[in-house]
Amino acid sequence: MEAVTVIMATLMGISLAAASGFRVFLPPFLLSVAARLDIVWFLELDLVGTQFEFFTSTLAIIVLGIATAAEFAGYYAPWIDNALDTIATPASILAGVVMTAIVLEGSEPIFQWAVAIVAGGGVAATIQSATVATRSLSSTFTFGLGNPAVATGENIASVALTLIAILIPFISAFVVILVVALLVRMKRRSEATAQ
């Protein structure tokens, strides 16, 4: 991989990892469709013969599509949304690591996996932790009635961030920085209010 391609792929991977902090299955689903249709303009995601070859298979796309629809619907069901957060936390970290590794396929393996684990997993964990805290506050103060509004915001953020990451990754990096800063600020403010 050329240096510019590695930088763009890194930005894309980290942005997709951030989007998976909002919704676990949507970013991998859209990435698998984009890779299958070869619409990532700056990166050739030819995964044939690699450890990620299954990712663009028809079965993977169908399973990820069904999982995406189920996840979106589940977050609108009272109290199920809180149970989903328990499952989604480790799953979002794993999704962030894997998507970052996928887009960096073809780079040096040490770099690929170091960035995937540290940056991809770290950003996904940060976003997911903030969404869990937000939903917890909503559940506490609105008895779960405000959770659909939180879910809608997370859905919009995940779709927007995923599309920006795939289509214009250099802009998505700035969006990720803003989202992380905003969520950390909101979390600190909510912790101060709770005390």
pLDDT of residue 188: 81
Locus of tokens 């794993």: 94
Residue 69 Cα distances to 26, 55, 56, 64, 76, angstroms: 9, 18, 18, 9, 12
pLDDT of residue 192: 77
Question: What does each of the 195 residues of the chain score in pLDDT, given as a tens digit?
Answer: 688 888 888 999 999 999 999 999 999 999 999 988 888 766 777 777 788 889 989 999 999 999 999 999 999 987 888 889 889 999 999 999 999 999 999 899 999 999 999 999 999 999 999 899 888 888 888 888 899 999 999 999 999 999 999 888 888 878 888 887 887 787 787 777 766
On whether the CB atoms of residues 112 and 105 are closer than 8 A, the answer is yes
Residue 32 Cα distances to 76, 79, 103, 164, 171, angstroms: 25, 30, 11, 15, 21
Query: Residues of 140-163 as b/e, b for ≥16 C-beta within 10 angstroms?
Result: eeeebebbbebbeebbebbbebbe
Q: Where are the alpha helices (DSSP H) in 23-146?
A: 26-37, 58-74, 80-103, 109-114, 121-142
pLDDT of residue 41: 67
On whether the CB atoms of residues 74 and 121 are closer than 8 A, the answer is no
Residue partners of 123: CB distance under 8 A and separation at least 6: 14, 17, 18, 21, 96, 176, 180
Q: Give the Cα separation of 160 and 79 in Å (integer).
A: 26
Q: Give the Cα separation of 30 and 10 in Å (integer).
A: 17
